[in-house]
């Protein structure tokens, strides 16, 4: 095992492809320091309710707060995100980039992809749960896939160097992304419907199409997508994440599976939105009660439950295997997609 593949304490370096702070300029960026130093973090800066102006204000404030704090390094290139040879500086900071969970904040102007890219955007998904100008969402009854605009969006993401992300999209939209992209796509935070039948989870066909592009599927830790949403079921959620990792590896090969917990630092506020917005979230989001998440501390064994790293090791995953799943696979795909 080469030194650059492991973190300071012998744990895998973590590539967290999607997590959420409150979508407010007043959000406390220091919450992200719950992740192990040396990690790469992609933080959401908007989905369907946000305008271009609101998401730009948000990312500008997050960047300002990160520079003021000093424990973060803003991502401009893959070497900023995931240096092949970590240094004392990179191992003592958190790499920070951003994602959009819907194309709505572009407001139909594809030139805004370049604008957001310059501010650290490195992944974007076309549609969040329901149909928009780009394509259909996972909660739509009528699935017509990507629109003509949506296909142009995928081509623009390829050109600029931003991951095209199929999470929250419909089955057909996800398959259309795989068909349209010329570089690896991702499902940043999606689990397997074969293990738990939820509309937010993806089919084997979607997973195979993603892998055929060279892409990666990030397993998330959200209770309703794992079948373990009880507040006390933290260990069960970690074990279920491991189940999805194992399933994905057996289906696709280890090089196509990653970790992307979808942890919400604004969990209480987000639950309030879900239960107050039946037009945006179906019964499949509310029938299990308020959402529960797997926190950062439960990924790499820094809490009172067995961490995902430990659980995977017990299931026979070698250090090299775990390094690939916890970060190396997303980093490899990023080297093929990102422009810098």
Does residue 294 have a pLDDT over 60?
A: yes
Q: What does residue 97 show for φ and ψ, rounded to 5 degrees?
A: -130, -175
| Arithmetic mean of pLDDT over the chain | 95
Mean pLDDT computed over 208-222: 99
| In-domain check, residue 8 | no
Helical pair 111-118 and 148-160, crossing angle rounded to 10 deg: 40
Segment 124-182, tens digit of pLDDT: 999 999 999 999 999 999 999 999 999 999 999 999 999 999 999 999 999 999 999 99
Helix ranges restricted to H, the chain: 52-69, 78-81, 88-91, 111-118, 148-160, 171-180, 204-212, 223-226, 234-252, 267-276, 283-286, 308-314, 319-323, 329-337
Domain count, the chain: 1
| In-domain check, residue 90 | yes
Do residues 82 and 139 touch, judged by C-beta distance below 8 A? no
Instruction: Tell me, rounded to whole angstroms, the distance of Cα 186 from its chain centroid.
Output: 9
What is the sign of the dihedral through the CA atoms of 280, 258, 33 and 97? Answer: negative
CA distances from 275 to 104, 190, 280 (A): 22, 22, 10
Residue 103's pLDDT band (cuts 50, 70, 90)? very high
| In-domain check, residue 45 | yes
Q: How far apart are CA 16 and CA 41, in angstroms?
A: 5
Mean pLDDT computed over 265-278: 89
pLDDT at 278: 75
Q: Which domain holds residue 195?
A: 13-24+35-337
pLDDT at 8: 52
Does residue 4 have a pLDDT over 70?
A: no
pLDDT at 9: 57
Q: What does residue 246 show for φ and ψ, rounded to 5 degrees?
A: -60, -45
Does residue 15 have a pLDDT over 90?
A: yes
| In-domain check, residue 2 | no
pLDDT at 6: 43
Helical pair 52-69 and 111-118, crossing angle rounded to 10 deg: 10
34-38, 112-116, 265-269: range with lowest mean pLDDT: 265-269
Tell me the two tokens of residue 118. Answer: 């310059």
Do residues 98 and 121 touch, judged by C-beta distance below 8 A? yes
Q: What is the CATH number of the domain that holds 264?
A: 3.20.20.140
| In-domain check, residue 30 | no
Residue 105's pLDDT band (cuts 50, 70, 90)? very high
| In-domain check, residue 5 | no
Three-state secondary structure of 42-92:
EEECCCCCCCHHHHHHHHHHHHHHHHHHCCEEECCCHHHHCCCCCCHHHHC
Q: How far apart are CA 247 and CA 100, in angstroms?
A: 28
Percent of the chain past pLDDT 70, that is, above it, reads 97
Q: How far apart are CA 237 and CA 94, in angstroms?
A: 25
| In-domain check, residue 249 | yes
Tell me the two tokens of residue 228. Answer: 């373990």
Cα angle 127-62-130, degrees, rounded to a multiple of 5:
10
| In-domain check, residue 238 | yes
Q: How far apart are CA 255 and CA 202, in angstroms?
A: 18
């Amino acid at each position: 095992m080469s030194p650059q593949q492991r973190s300071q304490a012998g744990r895998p370096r973590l590539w967290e492809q999607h997590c959420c702070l409150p979508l407010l300029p007043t959000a406390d960026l220091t919450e992200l320091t719950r992740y192990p130093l040396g990690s790469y973090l992609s933080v959401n800066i908007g989905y369907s309710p946000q305008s271009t102006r609101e998401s730009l204000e948000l990312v500008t404030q997050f960047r300002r707060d990160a520079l003021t704090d000093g424990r973060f390094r803003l991502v401009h290139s893959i070497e900023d995100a995931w240096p092949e040879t970590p240094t004392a500086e990179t191992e003592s900071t958190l790499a920070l980039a951003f994602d959009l969970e819907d194309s709505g904040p572009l407001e139909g102007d594809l030139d805004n992809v370049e604008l957001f890219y310059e501010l650290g955007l490195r992944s974007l998904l076309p549609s969040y749960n329901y149909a928009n100008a780009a394509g259909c969402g996972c909660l739509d009854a009528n699935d017509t896939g990507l629109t003509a605009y949506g296909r142009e969006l995928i081509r623009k993401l390829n050109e600029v160097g931003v991951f095209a992300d199929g999470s929250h999209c419909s089955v057909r939209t996800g398959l259309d992304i795989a068909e349209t992209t010329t570089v690896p796509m991702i499902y940043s935070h999606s689990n397997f419907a074969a293990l738990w039948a939820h509309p937010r989870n993806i089919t084997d066909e979607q997973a195979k199409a993603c892998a055929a592009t060279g892409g990666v599927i990030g397993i998330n830790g959200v209770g309703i997508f794992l079948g373990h949403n009880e507040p006390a079921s933290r260990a069960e959620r970690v074990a279920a994440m491991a189940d999805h990792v194992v399933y994905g590896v057996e289906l696709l090969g280890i090089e196509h599976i990653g970790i992307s917990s979808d942890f919400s630092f604004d969990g209480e506020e987000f639950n309030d939105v879900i239960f107050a917005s039946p037009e945006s979230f179906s019964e499949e989001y509310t029938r299990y009660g308020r959402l529960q998440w797997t926190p950062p501390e439960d990924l790499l064994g820094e809490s009172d439950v067995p961490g995902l790293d430990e659980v995977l090791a017990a299931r026979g995953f070698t250090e090299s295997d775990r390094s690939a799943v916890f970060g190396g696979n997303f980093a490899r795909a990023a080297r093929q997609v990102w422009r810098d």
